[in-house]
Amino acid sequence: MTFQTDPRLIAHSAAVAAWPLCDVRLMDDARFPWLVLIPRVADASELDDLSPADRPVLMAEMIRAGEMVRRLGEAMDLEVHKVNTAALGNVTAQLHVHVVGRRRDDPLWPDPIWGRDGRTALGDLRLAELADLAAGL
């Protein structure tokens, strides 16, 4: 089977880059600098679905995304105190990794952000600006 990104991962996000393993998307939520990494591996839903060669590539891309999230936080005037990284898959089974900048004064701190209402859209122009910025990092 060929690789296709689940439409739920595309909704409310903008394309940033295609790294060696993952497509990188910026989530449209002004509350958090938030990237999603989507490994381009058909039918992958768990980390162990990746080949042994792909696993360290994903880890390196997760670390790179964490660095980007901190810089996106600066661009959004949000100081990142903690980078949360998670591969949940409870709603969207396709393997994907969330990399989210958190701050002690964010609206959900210290609770998890997963499955919570309250997304605040950046707006198309700001989303495109931040996606372009992230692509250059």
Q: Per-residue pLDDT for 1 more than 80?
A: no
**What residues does each domain of the chain span?**
7-126
- Residue 6: count of CB within 10 angstroms of its CB: 14
Q: Which of 54, 52, 51 is nearest to 37 (CA)?
A: 54
Q: Look at residue 137 in the predicted model and tell me its pLDDT.
A: 84
Which whole number is the average pLDDT over 70-94? 96
**pTM for the whole structure:** 0.96
Does the 7-126 domain belong in CATH 3.90.1150.10? no
